[in-house]
Structure 1
Amino acid sequence: MTKNLERYVWHVRCTCHEQYVWAGCALVALGLALVSDLGPHRMWGVVAGTGYGVAAALACGERSRPAARSVAVAGGVVVPLVSSVAAGLGQLEVAVVERSGWSLLTTGSPYVAAPEAVSDFNPYLPGTALFGVLPGDPRWWLGGAFVAALAAAGLHRSRLLACPLIALPLAVGGTDLPVVGLMCLGIVLAGQGRPGRAGLALGAAAALKWTAWPALPVALALIAAGRGSWAALRYAAVALIAAAAGVLPIALSDPSGFHRNVIAFPLGLTDTTSPAASPLPGHLLAAYVPGGKVIALVLLVVSALFMAASLVVWPSVTVRAAAARLALGLGLAMVLMPSTRFGYLVYPLTLGTLAYRMRQHRGTSVVPLSQEAAAV
C-alpha cells in the first residue's frame, strides 16, 4: 500500500513538471537550429522546436497531457522525418548506408576499395549494409528496427522517443539506433533466462557496429550468474555464430576494404580524418593537450579494464544492474574517445532508461535453475 502510494505521488510530480520538460526540449531544438551548420539539423530544430512548444502548452492541462506526448513525438520525430525524406535531406550516414547496400548487391562488398573522401568511407560492420538493400529510405528501416526492439524489450515509451537525443537521429538518420535497441532487447532476454534468443539479438547487434560488442560479455555474465555455465555457453555460441555470419564473409572476401573502412578510418589511421569531433573530453584532450590523444586512449583502456574487472568481481544478476553497467561503461567510452560526437550518447541514455524502467518493476533477475526446481 505504501509503495503504491509512493509511486502515485512520484507520477503526479513528474506529470506536473512535464510542461517544463517539453519547454526545455523546445529550447534545445531551437538552439540547435541556430548554431548548427547542417541543413538537416536546422530543419529538425525548427520543426521539432515548434512541436515541443505546442506539447509544453498542452501539458499545462491535466487532461491534455497524453495529447502533449503524442504531439511531442509527432513534432520531434514524425513530421521532420517525413519532411526530410521527402526533401532528400539527411545526415551523411544515410547516403553511406544507401551506397553500401547498393555496393553489396553489385560487387559483393559494402566497402569502397580505395576510399578518399569522407563520404567514400563506410565505418560500419557489414550487417548495417542490409538497411541499404531494403527498399526506400534507410531511415524507415533503421528507426523501425529501433522501435520494434524497444517494444519487444518492454521499453515502448513516447517520452523516450521524443527525447531530442533520440528524436534527432530518428528524423535525420542514425545508425546507432538499431544497435542500442538490439542491445536492450538482448539484455532483457538474458535476464529472462533465454540464452539462445539473447545470443541472436546481441549477435545481430554485433554485426552492425563495434559499439555493440561490450554488451556480449555483460549478457554472458548475467546468464552465467543465474542459469549456469551450460546456458552461458549456449548463449556465447549463438551470439558468436550470429556475429560471425554477418561479419566474416565480407572480412575474408574483402580484407583490404574491411580494414581501411572499419578499422583504420575510425582509429584515425588514414589520410582522411573522421568528422566525428564533438567537444567532449576525449576530443578536447586530443585537440588541445600535448600528447592528449595518448592520454585519452589510456583513460579509455583503463575504464574498459575497470568495467571488465567489475564483471568478474561483481557480476550482474538483474537486468537493471546489467543495463546500468553498460550505460556507465559506454558513457565513459563515448566521452573519452578522441573522435566522438554527441549522437553516441544515445547508448547510455537508452540503456540508462532501461535500467530505470527495471527499477520501477523491482528489477528483473535471472532465476537460478535450483530455485525453479524447488518452486516446482
Structure 2
Amino acid sequence: MRNSLDQSVRRLSGTAWGTCRRSRVERCAWAGCAAVALGLALVSHLGPHRVWGVVAGSGYAVAALVTSPSYPRRAGRAVAVAGAVVLPLVGLVAAGERQLEVSVVERSGQLLLTTGSPYVSDPAAVADFNPYLPGMALFGVLPGDARWWSGGVFVAALAAAGLLRARLLACPLVALPLAVGGIDLPVVGLMCLGIVLAGRGRSSGAGLVLGVAAALKWTAWPALPVVLALTAVRQGRRHALRCAVVALGVVTVAVLPFALADPAGFCRNVIAFPLGLTSTTSPASSPLPGHLLATYVPGGTVIALTLLAASAVVIAVSVVARPPGTARGAGIRIAAGLGLAMTLLPATRFGYLVYPLVLGALALRPPSHRTPPLNFRERALA
C-alpha cells in the first residue's frame, strides 16, 4: 500500500515537473517571438511590417505572461494568435495597408476581368510585374481584400490536412504574412493537403489539390514528382498516373491559355523576373546565399542558378533511389528541396522560408491512424 502511494506521488511530481518545464519553454518561445517582432518594427522600412511588429510584439509579450503552470498553455497560444494574427490583420485591412504582393494580386484580378489576361505584356516598373501563375489572379477577382481569401484557403487547407495548430499560426514566419499579405500561404497549405491526401490513398484528390496549388505559383511544382513517387509506392503506378493526369490537367487548363496568348509577356512576368533576369530589380532581396552571390560575385547569378539546379538534381535522385513511403517522408523531401531553393534563388526573401517551415511541421506531425498501411504487393509492382 505504501509503495503504491509512493509511486503515485512520484508520478504526480513528475507530471507536475514536466508541465512546469513545458510552460517555461513555451514562455521563453513567446518572449523570443516578441523580441523578433519588436526588432522587425525597429529595422523595417515597410509600414505594414512596422505596424505588425508593434502589435504582434505586444501580443507575444502578453502570451508569455499568461503562459504559466497555473493556466492552460492553450490560453497563451490563443493570446498569441489573437495578438500576432487577428488584431494586426483586422487593423491593417481596415487601414488599407498591405504588402505590394496584395496589390499585385488584386491588380492582376482586375486585369483578368478587363483584358482577359492577368499580365502586362511589357512591364517596366516593379509594380507592373506579376510573377505568379494565372490561378493567383482569382484572389484578386473575389470581393474584398485578397488577404481574407488567401488566408482563408491556407487555414482551411491546414484544417483539412489535420495540421491546424495555434503555435504554427502564431509563428512569426506565418503570422506576419497572414497579416500583411503573404501569397505563399495558400500555396504551401494546399501542398500540405495534397501530400496528406496522397498518404491516405486518395490519388485523385491529391492530384486535384496539387494541380490547384501548381496553378498559383511555381513553388508548388516540386511537390508533384515527390507526391507521384509516394502514390506509386503506396498504391501502384496506375494510381500515380491518375494523380499525374488530374494535376497536369488542372495546370494545363489554368495556365496554358495565358501562356499561348502572350508568350513573351508570360515569360517576362513569371520566369525572367523571379529569377532576376530582367532589367527591373525584384524587391525580394534578403541577404540569403543566392542573392549575395548574384549581387557581389561576378557571374553570381549563373553560379546561384547552377547550384539551384544541382540541388534539384540531388533531391530528384533521392526520390528515385529511395521514394518516400509516407506523407511525413514526402514532406521532408519537399521541405529540404524548397529550403535549398529559397536560399539559392537570386531574388529571394526570408518570407519564403515559410515553405520549409510549414512542410517541416507536416513532416514532424505524429503518424496519423487514418494513414492506410502499405500495400506491399502493389509496392513490389510499382
Which category of TM-score, normalised to the shorter sequence, fits these structures?
A: over 0.9
Match of 2:58 among 50, 65, 69: 50
Contact in 2 for aligned 1:318/1:363 (Cα 8 Å): no
Aligned-residue CA RMSD (Å):
2.1
Distance apart, 1:231 and its partner CA = 0.5
Report the Cα distance in structure 2 between the residues aligned to 1:14 and 1:347, rounded to whole angstroms. Answer: 27
Residue deviations 1:166-212 (CA, integer Å, cap 9, x gap): 00000000110000000000000000011000000000000000000
Q: What SS is found at the alignment partner of 2:86?
A: helix
Task: Tell me whether 1:316 sits opposite 2:329 in the alignment.
Answer: no
Normalised by the length of structure 1, the TM-score is: 0.93
Report the Cα distance in structure 1 between the residues aligned to 2:215 and 2:209, rounded to whole angstroms. Answer: 10
Match of 1:220 in 2: 228
Residue deviations 1:252-311 (CA, integer Å, cap 9, x gap): 223232122111211222221111110011111222223322222221111100000001
Distance apart, 1:118 and its partner CA = 0.2
Distance apart, 1:352 and its partner CA = 0.2
Q: Which stretches of structure 1, 4 residues or longer, exceed 4 Å deviation after superposition? A: 5-13, 361-366, 369-372
Match of 1:326 in 2: 334
Distance apart, 1:362 and its partner CA = 8.3
Match of 1:262 in 2: 270
Cα distance change, pair 37–250 in 1 and its aligned pair in 2 (3 A): same
Residue type matched to 1:245 in 2?
V
Contact in 2 for aligned 1:318/1:366 (Cα 8 Å): no
Q: What SS is found at the alignment partner of 2:365?
A: helix
Residue deviations 1:128-182 (CA, integer Å, cap 9, x gap): 0000000000000000000000000000100000000000000000110000000
Match of 1:163 in 2: 171
Distance apart, 1:16 and its partner CA = 3.5
Q: What SS is found at the alignment partner of 2:283?
A: coil
306-315 or 279-288: which moved more? 279-288
Match of 1:367 among 363, 374, 377: 374
Match of 1:236 among 226, 236, 244: 244
Cα distance change, pair 59–112 in 1 and its aligned pair in 2 (3 A): same
Cα distance change, pair 62–323 in 1 and its aligned pair in 2 (3 A): farther
Residue type matched to 1:30 in 2?
L
Task: Tell me whether 1:154 sits opposite 2:162 in the alignment.
Answer: yes
Cα distance change, pair 150–16 in 1 and its aligned pair in 2 (3 A): same
Report the Cα distance in structure 2 between the residues aligned to 1:77 and 1:131, rounded to whole angstroms. Answer: 20
205-214 or 6-15: which moved more? 6-15
Task: Tell me whether 1:130 sits opposite 2:142 in the alignment.
Answer: no
Cα distance change, pair 251–371 in 1 and its aligned pair in 2 (3 A): closer
Report the Cα distance in structure 2 between the residues aligned to 1:9 and 1:252, rounded to whole angstroms. Answer: 64
Contact in 1 for aligned 2:20/2:68 (Cα 8 Å): no
Cα distance change, pair 203–366 in 1 and its aligned pair in 2 (3 A): farther
Residue type matched to 2:59 in 1?
G
Distance apart, 1:249 and its partner CA = 1.7
Alignment of 1:1-376 (within 5 A): 13-358=21-366, 361=368, 364=371, 367-368=374-375, 370=377
Report the Cα distance in structure 1 between the residues aligned to 2:230 and 2:320, rounded to whole angstroms. Answer: 11
Report the Cα distance in structure 1 between the residues aligned to 2:117 and 2:323, rounded to whole angstroms. Answer: 39
Report the Cα distance in structure 2 between the residues aligned to 1:7 and 1:348, rounded to whole angstroms. Answer: 33
Q: What SS is found at the alignment partner of 1:17?
A: helix
Higher radius of gyration, 1 or 2: 2
Residue type matched to 2:351 in 1?
G
Residue type matched to 2:337 in 1?
G
The number of residues matched between the two structures is 367
Gaps of at least 5 residues in structure 2 are 1-11
Aligned-residue sequence identity (percent) comes to: 68
